[in-house]
Amino acid sequence: MNQATIQSRCECQACLWASLNPQRYVIAGWATDPRRPRQETCAAHSINADQEQFQVAWLCPYCGRNVLRSFYAGALSYRAARVSERPPPARPPSVPPAR
């Protein structure tokens, strides 16, 4: 699957990231902050993804702000996703062993 990665800054200076599929829908969102040692998952979604000028909204996990940024579809660069970037496969429900 091809995907593009976009980023923006929150007002708290955390870096917000999102992976987009070719239809410009968000696959995953995450945030990093140089003052904190680990990466956090964050909610993100695209708005008006079918238009050339579209928006992505994030919920910053560090400060709780809703961040809305505009992007131009023509500026996105898509590449094949690496195996490590793909979400883990769904696990079947655990079934207790038969007695």
To the nearest 10°, the Cα dihedral for 66, 72, 77, 81? 40
Q: Per the domain annotation, does 6 fall within a domain?
A: yes
Spatial separation of the C-alpha atoms in residues 2 and 24, rounded to whole Å: 11
Question: Under DSSP, is residue 53 helix (H, G, I), strand (E, B) or coil?
Answer: strand
Instruction: Name the burial class of residue 63, with classes exposed (0-12), middle (13-18) and buried (19+) by CB atoms within 10 angstroms of its CB.
Output: middle
**For range 16-45, the mean pLDDT:** 91
Q: Per the domain annotation, does 86 fall within a domain?
A: no
Count of domains in the chain? 1
C-beta atoms surrounding 10 within 10 Å: 22
Q: Per the domain annotation, does 91 fall within a domain?
A: no
pLDDT digits (tens, 9 = 90+) for 33-84: 888 888 899 999 999 999 999 999 999 999 999 999 999 998 888 888 765 5
Here the tokens at position 66 are 């809703």
Q: Per the domain annotation, does 98 fall within a domain?
A: no
Q: Per the domain annotation, does 42 fall within a domain?
A: yes
Q: Give pLDDT, residue 49.
A: 93
Here the tokens at position 39 are 């990466």
Domain that holds residue 69: 2-81
